Amino acid sequence: MSHDILAGSTARTWRHNRCITASLLATSVIVLAGCRNDCSEGQGAYSANNGAFPGCEDGSGSGDSSGANPSEPMNPCGNGALDPGEDCDGTLLGDKTCTRADSKYTGGELSCTDSCTLDTSQCTWCGDGITNGNESCESNDLAGQDCVSQGFAGGTLKCSADCTAFDASSCVSAVCSNGVRETGEQCDCGQSMICTVAQLGGAMLDCTSLQAPAGGNYSGGLLKCDSMSCTYDVSACEYCGDGVPNGGEACDDGNMMNTDMCTSACELPVCGDTFVQAGEQCDDGNLEKGDGCDDGCKHEYVMFVTAGEHPADFGKGGEGIAGADKICAAAAGSAGLLGTYLAWVSSDGKDAKDRLPAGKPLVRRDGATIVANSSDLVEGDTTMLMNKINVSEAKGSVTGYAWTGTSKTGTSTGVNCVGWTYNMDDEGGNVGSPGLADKKWTSITPPVNDAGKGLCNATNHLYCFRQLEP
């Protein structure tokens, strides 16, 4: 039971389990029934202070017997009212909804957490896979709709990017076969077997403006229009890879492989088409000789003399023969030669003849044959080359001398500038002459006027040859 108390008097009431004493400023207040007006039973007395109730005055300053600290501010969340700092309180959400809380939401149920903040876990949005709220559809949920239900003859119905409407761009017009190409139709030729370019949407009647399944465009044929779906009928179109030789095709084996008996361009394989096919060892796309792949697409074993001269240690800091090999590999690479190239040099215990491509003919860069068999290079006193080794990797003519350290039989002479690691004039290195075709091509004593060419401080060319392919 409650009753009025006159203004100016003192009222005591219970609030949050505490009895509060305050001077009344209004004309009247309501005292709750059951609240003691003497703050007895260990609760102490509350006194007013600027309209607040700071604490219980029981003489000890310890507050009430409940153990609560009255100096701490009370949390209003949960009191059923929207207080400052709160987004919501219980069922009170103000004017907020899912769509007003965040523009990405399309609907759903907004609620309030125990801490008086908005709970959007039950809100919905475009892209969640479920058609709800103000959505018409989702990409995987068309709400039971299709092109037919939207008034079209067929096709594929889609959902717009914002989920608010259907996308009928892939639906086929309900008036297909009226002879007029309309929105959603690839073509419409009516009931005619022959179409105009306009009825085909600008596509060429011979199919050549359309892309074929194997890549590229169709090579020919007759483009038609399906009178039921108003889509292209390419059954009579032709393309390389359809398994039927037609048009200007020399062959068509139904695949895009280039290493079988019909290339991906539907042409018969030939040497020089860049594809290594059955019976070919190589194919560099040309029929030139002297580049490592001959005009029959077989390996060529090219031998050349370097255009440049090199010191006796080959500028490789003591690498010896390995340094010379690197010079040959670089020269061959600069000329685009196929294969791996080695230097014709010997040192103690290492004979140049042992590295030759056994049984293979050797040719120059200009295609001229040097020897029919690599062993013919070193037949001793009877050695006679078919053509001199005086053509460089760049097909230029070379004179002078070449470091070899190799005898007329292809073995080491022992004169090799300390294993091709030394470049002073107190040691010598055996040389050969690119301008000669007899045994002196690999071992010669330079004449007096060129005597310095046999000393290790000189620079000379190098012979290089292709290593045997595995």
| Three-state secondary structure call for residue 122 | coil
Phi, psi dihedrals of residue 88, rounded to the nearest 5°: -165, 175
Q: How far apart are CA 190 and CA 202, in angstroms?
A: 16
Distances in Å between the Cα of 201 and the Cα atoms of 183, 228, 263, 468 are 11, 17, 33, 61
**390-446 pLDDT, tens per residue?**
999 999 999 999 999 999 999 999 999 999 999 999 999 999 999 999 999 999 999
Q: What is the pLDDT of residue 45?
A: 39
Helices (H) and strands (E) in the chain, counts: 3, 24
* SS3 category, 297: coil
Q: 3.10.100.10, 3.30.2130.10, 3.50.50.60, 3.40.120.10: which CATH number matches 303-466?
A: 3.10.100.10
Strand partners of residue 29? 5
- The set of residues, in sequence order, having a beta carbon less than 8 Å from that of 15 and lying 6+ positions away, is 53
56 pLDDT more than 60: no
pTM beyond 0.75: the answer is: no
Residue pair 406/442 in contact (Cβ under 8 Å)? The answer is yes
CB 109 within 8 A of CB 122: yes
DSSP assignment, residue 52? Answer: B
Amino acid (1-letter code) at residue 457: N
pLDDT confidence tier of residue 326, bands split at 50, 70 and 90 = very high
Quickly state the pLDDT bin for 21 (edges 50, 70, 90). Answer: very low
Residue type, 333: G
Domain layout of the chain by residue ranges: 3-57, 303-466
Q: What pLDDT score does 47 carry?
A: 38
3-state secondary structure of 340: coil
- What pLDDT is stored for residue 99 in this prediction? 82
The type of residue at 17 is N
Enter the tokens of residue 316: 């490789």
Report the candidate in 429, 432, 418 with the shortest Cα–Cα distance to residue 456. Answer: 429
pLDDT of the residue at 153: 64
Alpha-carbon gap, residue 259 to 261, rounded angstroms: 7
**For residues 212 and 463, which has the higher predicted lDDT (pLDDT)?**
463
Percent of the chain scoring above 70 in pLDDT: 83
Burial grade of 187 (CB within 10 A; 0-12, 13-18, 19 or more): buried
| Residue at token pair 């709160």 | 86
pLDDT of residue 253: 92
Token pair belonging to 47: 């006194």
271 CB neighbour count, 10 Å cutoff? 22
Give the residue among 138, 132, 133 at the shortest CA–CA distance from 100.
Answer: 133
Q: For residue 311, name the pLDDT band (cuts at 50, 70, 90).
A: very high
Calpha distance 314→323 (Å, rounded)? 6
Residues 67-111 have pLDDT tens digits of 445 444 567 898 888 888 888 998 888 888 888 888 788 888 889
Between the CA of residue 166 and those of 132, 133, 137, 138, 335, what are the distances in Å? 14, 15, 7, 9, 63
